[in-house]
A and B are shown apart, each in its own frame.
Chain A
Amino acid sequence: MSLRQRLVPYWLLGPGLLWLVLFFVVPMYFMGELALRSGTLTTGFTFDWAWANFPDSLSGHTVQIVRSFFYAGTATLLALLIGYPLAYAIAFRAGRFKLLLLFAVIAPFFTTYLIRTIAWKTILSDSSPVVSVLQTLSLVPPDGRVLATSGAVIAGLTYNFLPFMVLPLYANLERLDLSLIEAAKDLYSSSRQAFLKVTLPLTMPGIVAGVLLTFIPAFGDYINAQILGGTQQAMVGNVIQSLYLTQRDYPEAAALSFLMMALILAIVVLYIRFAGTGAFMGDDEEEVA
């Protein structure tokens, strides 16, 4: 291969990598740098290796961090429970409606995130028929409400991130070789056993990808908490947003989001070590010329 040919991939990658490095990686560095400053807006922020900002921001907002784990975790679990059968149905039982169903799954993306969350806010408002139905079904106490509770926030998160769960699951399920399940049945296993011993393990990469792609953005979300939640539902994202935009306590804000980023990076890198980057994108091989 001539030198010119060897350089081709670098030329192709160049602009994109440069953009990502300049506007994704480098800002992370600046966020870290900002986290090491102290001061206020009026006095100016001076760089003085304020390492204390990191543990301080953690200890000052432990409640919200734990809460975010809980909300994102529950939403992810619900999305998995709802999404897996859905993805399965689309992959194997949809026939000619497959494309249509897939389309319906991603359709929510065509409306603005905010608008559909606000729509939920009104659907779930105290005087709406939906809430009355829930009250009759005793799912909600008679004088209780749905909005401004943890339930509303989790429901919002589940709804908004369900496509992120369904699509990787579907991509993975679609590649499933049905003959393996038939083979299992030929060997006298029941449907349930076939599912548990063949299907589930084989679709595990899809499940893990879906879980990651759902949990991580849900963890950092703040819109659902802000619109559907009340005074007790603030998540880490709300704190970061408030610190940056309202309180202008940049060092603490930067420290908190830097820590969050580090945590997520650790999870992602661990996963990629385990499964390879191809698995992250839903396929199992990486093609090379």
Chain B
Amino acid sequence: MHILESRLAAAVAVFAVALGLTACGGGTVGGGGNGGEVTTAKAGPVSGKLTISNWPGYIDPGKEGTVAEFEAKTGVSVDYIEDINENEAFFGKMQPLLEQGESGGRSIFVVADYMAKQMHDLGYLQNIDHADLPTAFENLQPSLRSPAFDPKREFSLPWQSGMTGIWVDTSKAPEIHSINDLFDPKYKGKVTMLGELRESVPLTMLAEGIDPGKASNQDWLHAIDRIKAAADSGQIRHFTGNDYTEDLNAGNIVAAIGWSGDASLIENPNAEWRMPTEGCTLWSEDMVIPVGAPNTAAALDWMNFVYQPKVAADITEYVLYISPVDGVKELLETRNPELAKDQLVFPSEQFTRKCSSQDSPPDLEPVNEAWQAVITG
């Protein structure tokens, strides 16, 4: 049995090698980042290179854009990367690096409130000192100064706010005004929902009259079941990130749960964002400085820079989201009165009275597991 022996010997050899390799490294996998100490981002003379990770379509581009303006003013060379399409996916990509105290060369991320909190709790973020950001904290909207997840704004600074509602192709389905309409069999296979747990599920709960901020785990799971049934029956075509805009453009769908400011990404002239009758989710995305971020001085300067009302107005004019900076509306009243009156960009209290924020369920894990099962199909 010559062959069998040699095969066995080979297998044992490989196994021995593997065991040996195990012995000389690794051990625990995962389990939190910094070792407990939270550093504060250091300010200083501003120069060098700055890398920012952000969502697509979230800044005014080009030679007249904010990045170019910042570069001209400070001499910093900015590498602006639009590689965030979903909070979870981005976190998944960065996590192994952040675990090691690395940020992949990036000095600023822009992530949702809940993700900023999650990163902070894992020790992946640096704190920001208000003294380093005078303009920012002077102009920050009062309503955003003390959010529940970061009451003293120690580690996050809002980039833009927005609303999640329904984009409707008015030429094909003009009567869609509510999340419940998305479950109408008439539109089977022609609607999409966002894959974010904290968007689609709170909206569905709102549609059933439940306040997401006070919902129990049962409520969350019940809403997920409803969505699951719709996915299984083919009612929902897709769970999307940014890509619902492509489906709208291609005419594949008549309605999508989507973000209020995405008009610049949508080519379909008949598409219109609507506030669902039962309310929307109102969210913010924040700039955060990760551990291991190079050139924190430039990062802090950038954060301060974009809080000047003039700069913030430029950004708002392009991205069409809700600016966290006070004074932008007044500036635009002379420059672009149409925009200053736009409810999507400067929503009144009245307009957003029924909106909730992006809440998390009381017990995340079972809800997350159930949700993942639904969106993976």
Binding site for B on A (CB under 8 A): 21, 25-26, 29-30, 33-34, 37, 39-46, 60, 64, 122, 125-127, 145, 147-148, 229-234, 238-239, 242, 244-248, 250
Evaluate contact between B95 and A122: CB separation under 8 angstroms: no
- CB neighbours of B232 from chain A (8 A): 231-232
| List of B residues within 8 angstroms of A45 by Cβ | 28-31
Residues of B within 8 A of A126 (CB): 250-252
**Which A residue's beta carbon lies closest to that of B99?**
A41
Tell me if B209 counts as interface (CB < 8 A to partner A): no
Report the bound CA distance from A25 to B30 in whole Å. Answer: 23
Q: How far is the CB of B221 from chain A (nearest CB, A)?
A: 17
* CA A114 to CA B93, docked complex, whole Å: 20
The B214-264 residues at the A interface (CB cut-off 8 A) are 231-232, 234, 236-239, 250-252
Contact of B376 among A25, A40, A122, A234 (CB under 8 A): A234
Q: Tell me the complex Cα distance, A60–B372, Å.
A: 12
Contact (A230, B234) CB under 8 Å given A127-B251, A148-B189, A239-B376:
yes
Given contact pairs A44-B29, A148-B238, enumerate 20 new A-B contacts (beta carbons under 8 Å).
A21-B14, A26-B14, A26-B21, A29-B15, A40-B30, A41-B31, A42-B30, A42-B32, A42-B121, A45-B28, A45-B31, A60-B373, A148-B189, A148-B237, A148-B252, A231-B236, A233-B377, A242-B375, A242-B376, A246-B92
Minimum CB–CB distance for B139 against chain A, Å:
35
Instruction: List chain B residues, Cβ under 8 A from A125.
Output: 250-252
Cross-chain contact A247 with B372 (CB below 8 angstroms): yes
Interface membership of chain B positions 10-45, coded 1 if the CB is closer than 8 angstroms to chain A and 0 otherwise: 000011011001100000111110000000000000
Which residue numbers of B lie inside 8 Å of A, CB to CB? 14-15, 17-18, 21-22, 28-32, 86, 88-89, 92-93, 95, 121-122, 189, 231-232, 234, 236-239, 250-252, 365, 368, 372-373, 375-377
Contact among B17, B31, B250 for A127, CB-based, below 8 A: B250
Contact B250 A231 (CB under 8 A): no
Separation in Å of the B340 CB from the closest CB of chain A?
Answer: 36
Across the interface, which residues of B come within 8 angstroms of A238, CB to CB?
A: 376-377
B32 touches A44 (CB 8 A): yes
Q: Are A39 and B30 in touch, CB under 8 angstroms?
A: yes
Listed A/B pairs (9) with beta-carbon separation below 8 Å: A26-B14, A40-B30, A44-B31, A126-B250, A148-B252, A231-B232, A232-B232, A239-B376, A246-B372
Once bound together, how far apart are the Cα atoms of A239 and B14, in whole Å?
30
Partner pick for A44 among B28, B250, B368, CB 8 A cutoff:
B28
Residues on B with beta carbons closer than 8 Å to the beta carbon of A248: 92, 95
Residues of B within 8 A of A245 (CB): 89, 92-93
Q: Within the assembled complex, what's the spacing in Å between the Cα atoms of A270 and B310?
A: 70
The reply to whether B237 and A231 contact each other, CB–CB distance below 8 Å, is yes
How far, in whole Å, are A285 and B31 apart by their CA atoms in the complex?
A: 53
Q: Which residues on A sit within 8 Å (CB–CB) of B29?
A: 34, 37, 44-45, 250
Assess the B31–A246 pair: CB atoms within 8 A: no
Chain B residues near A148 (CB, 8 Å)?
A: 189, 237-238, 252
Chain A residue at smallest Cβ distance from B93: A245
Q: Is the interface of B mostly helix, strand, loop or mixed?
A: helix
A46 to B29, CA, bound (A): 7
Q: Is the CB of B238 within 8 A of A231?
A: yes
Compute how far the CA of A250 lies from the CA of B96 in the bound complex, rounded to whole angstroms: 12
Instruction: Please pick, from B92, B237, B250, the residue contacting A122 in the complex, using a CB distance under 8 A.
Output: B250
B31 touches A43 (CB 8 A): yes
Q: Which of A33, A41, A233, A242 contacts B30 (CB 8 A)?
A: A41
- Chain B residues, Cβ within 8 Å of A30: 18
| Closest Cβ neighbor of B233 among chain A residues | A232
Q: For A28, give the chain B residue with the smallest CB separation.
A: B18
Smallest beta-carbon distance A123→chain B, Å: 11
Contacts of B88 in A (CB 8 A): 246-247
| B-chain residues with CB within 8 Å of residue A60 when the two chains form the complex | 373
Q: Is the CB of B377 within 8 A of A232?
A: yes
* A145 surroundings in chain B (CB, below 8 A): 189, 252
Residues of chain B within 8 A of A44, CB atoms compared: 28-32
Residues of B contacting A122 in the complex (Cβ-Cβ under 8 angstroms): 250
Cβ distance B252 to chain A, nearest Cβ, rounded Å: 5
Q: Say whether, besides A21-B14, A44-B32, A232-B232, A246 and B89 are in contact (CB < 8 Å).
A: yes
Contacts of B250 in A (CB 8 A): 122, 125-127
Collect the chain A residues with CB atoms within 8 Å of residue B234's CB: 230-232
CB distance from B329 to the nearest CB of A (A): 38
* Nearest residue, chain B, Cβ from A29: B18
> How many angstroms between the C-alpha atoms of A234 and B376 in the bound complex?
6
CB <8 Å contact, A230 and B30: no
- Docked Cα-Cα span, A231 to B32, in Å, equals 33
A41 neighbours in B (Cβ, 8 Å): 30-31, 95
A229 and B245 CA atoms in complex are apart in Å by 17
**Given A127-B251, A145-B189, are A231 and B231 also a contact pair (CB < 8 Å)?**
yes
Which of B18, B250, B375 is the most central at the interface, judged by chain A CB atoms within 10 Å of its CB? B18
**Which residues of A lie under 8 Å from residue B21 when comparing CB positions?**
26
Contacts of A242 in B (CB 8 A): 372, 375-376
Asked if A231 contacts B377 (CB within 8 A), the reply is yes
Q: How far is the CB of A221 from chain B (nearest CB, A)?
A: 15
CB closest residue in chain B, given A27: B18
Question: Which residues of the other chain, A, contact B252 by a CB distance below 8 angstroms?
Answer: 125-127, 145, 147-148
A64–B15 Cα distance when bound, in Å, is 32
**Alpha-carbon separation in the docked complex, A97 to B95 (Å):** 53
Chain B contacts of A247 at CB under 8 A?
A: 88, 92, 368, 372
> Which A residue's beta carbon lies closest to that of B377?
A234
